[in-house]
Structure 1
Amino acid sequence: MDVRYKRHKQARKTLKEIEESPRDYLVIHYSCESFYDIHDGRTPRITSIAVRELDSGQTHSFSIHKIAEKQGVPLDVINGKYDELEKAMLDELMDFIQKSTKFKWVHWNMRDINYGFPAIYHRYEVLNGTPCKIDDSRLIDIARVLKDCYGEGYAGGHPRMQKLLELNDMSHRELLSGKGEAVAFSAHEYVKLHQSTLRKVNEISNIVTMACENKLKTASSLIEIYGWSPQSLYEMLRDRWWFAILAFMLGVVAGLVLEKAWSF
């Protein structure tokens, strides 16, 4: 089987599973200090996290500034109490994870110690917490699923999320780029970072829904999506609406020809 077609088929299977049971999926995204600006070897501090229920759209958020508000800490002195506030924020997240064992978690490139679940767990351990870890079998990197489904250049450039939003005429107002997040963190603009995180988790959810419904616009050609094998070419044709009509008409014609042949 053609490797391109095999990856496409597996990705479509994943999207089909999400489409059939959206209530079983959560979408997560978070913002943090830029790891490019850290020169002492430590991992980036986390500023905000958003978790959205794919089916209902209900969003749960965890952020430095919300914890500060609860504890009566003014925004302009958050930096002096950052570790304490970050620990309290991650306490809330870990409690949420512990109560969400039935869900699968959809994310965008949250795979490693620089940016991802390993980074979140590590930060919590650095702050003397014991993380509640999500089993890898319940993690779905939708960025990788989309690449497998549509091919390497599906977004038409980098950063892929922003390019994909532009391709689909989706608003990315309030979304900060990686550089923008670094600037906002340095300026202690934690509310701005949180708004960006909320917007990103919302847009990722929209991307997932559109991909599941096969309505997502991409920059990929049909060959980039399906590959070159006979099986993949058949799959490509089968996905065209006119192919179903053509197949039906050919079936009717074949049936009439056979019926006429048997009448002699």
Structure 2
Amino acid sequence: MIFDSTRSKERRAGLREASYILDSKSDVFAIHYSCESFNKYKSTTPRVTSVSIYNLITGEQRCFSIHLEAQIRSFDCDKLSSVELDASERSLLQKFFKFVKAHQGCLWVHWNMKNSKYGFDALSFRYKFLMQRSAPNVKMQYRYDLYVLLKKLYGPNFETNEYESKLLALTQRNCLAIRGMMIGIQEADAFDRKEFQAVMESSQGKSEAIGLIVKAAGEKTLKVNASLRDIYGISPLGLILYVADNFVRISKLWKITIGVVGVIFSMWKFIY
């Protein structure tokens, strides 16, 4: 189409995807997990330390954490051995994948959980490594990467890398009342210092932030760093999309402008 552009096509695809997520008849979960440092182990996937799930519909959260499982087993969290860590992680993953199995067909919104280094495949690998059997699968068609979705909606410059995390920067920009969020390496360091509660709270905060951000994006109320050109591109269709997205605001501005012009015209007639 001569009046179309790549940017307009990407944004329309993003809007359809966001609408599908928010209009889903099934439960929609935002998910984030924390793990040990990728530099700690050279020959295996890092240990999973917590998994947090946020329900976009109800706002309820579920969190599976190593230190909670350790406490259930009466382990000393200040002196967890490798065997005890394995047992606690095994229990964490058992409960998480039991939740997954009970919610087949639901949608999962995540942030860059896209490969075997960090993602659903990494979680499945840790489960198989510890349990010696395959984990229940979250099918690809039910996974939605919020990072990719935001690039479709607003372009690659949707946020700065302030705080070394676009997710944290978006949370700050939109004044989301979420505390305790850390970047991945900080979570790993906190776990090594046995600050388990802080790690869990960071994971919980991120899953909630992901849920709130995807809702705001779908409702077209999300504040981003991108310019209008980044978002809509340069094309007649881009202009139409901008007007459609901002029709109420433009209408109000137009009414104010007409009112001001009317006042000025009346004053001019009175004076002259």
TM range (shorter): 0.7 to 0.9
Moved over 4 A (4+): 242-246
Shift of the alpha carbon at 1:173?
A: 2.1
Letter paired with 2:63: S
Q: Can you give the 5+ residue segments of structure 1 that lack an aligned partner in the other structure?
A: 250-264
TM-score between the two structures when normalised by the length of structure 1: 0.87
- Deviation per CA, 1:3-46: give whole Å up to 9, x if none: 211111111111112232375311111100111333x3211100
Instruction: Check conservation: 1:147, 1:154, Cα contact below 8 A.
Output: yes
1:114 aligns with 2:120: no
Give secondary structure in 2 for the equivalent of 1:72. coil
Q: Aligned match of 1:149 in 145, 149, 153?
A: 153
Aligned-residue CA RMSD (Å)? 2.1
- Deviation per CA, 1:177-207: give whole Å up to 9, x if none: 2231121122122222111111111111111
Partner of 1:168: 174
Which has the larger displacement, 97-106 or 161-170?
Answer: 161-170
Q: 1:77 to 1:22 in 2, by over 3 A?
A: farther
Hey, what's the Cα distance between the residues in 2 that align with 1:234 and 1:181?
44
1:7 aligns with 2:20: no
Instruction: Check conservation: 1:19, 1:213, Cα contact below 8 A.
Output: no
Give secondary structure in 1 for the equivalent of 2:9. helix
Shift of the alpha carbon at 1:72?
A: 1.4
Instruction: Tell me the matched-pair count.
Output: 247
Hey, what's the Cα distance between the residues in 2 that align with 1:5 and 1:70?
52
Partner of 2:220: 214
- Deviation per CA, 1:126-159: give whole Å up to 9, x if none: 1123211111000000111011101111112241
1:239 aligns with 2:222: no
1:131 aligns with 2:135: yes
Instruction: Check conservation: 1:31, 1:48, Cα contact below 8 A.
Output: yes
Q: 1:235 to 1:91 in 2, by over 3 A?
A: same
Partner of 2:207: 201
Partner of 2:261: none
- Deviation per CA, 1:28-84: give whole Å up to 9, x if none: 11100111333x321110000011111001111111111111111121232431112
Shift of the alpha carbon at 1:114?
A: 1.5
Partner of 1:180: 186
Q: 1:230 to 1:48 in 2, by over 3 A?
A: same
Instruction: Check conservation: 1:79, 1:188, Cα contact below 8 A.
Output: no
Hey, what's the Cα distance between the residues in 2 that align with 1:79 and 1:224?
51
- Deviation per CA, 1:100-127: give whole Å up to 9, x if none: 0131111111001111111101111111
1:83 aligns with 2:86: yes
TM-score between the two structures when normalised by the length of structure 2: 0.85
- Deviation per CA, 1:188-228: give whole Å up to 9, x if none: 22222111111111111111121121111001111101112
1:190 aligns with 2:193: no
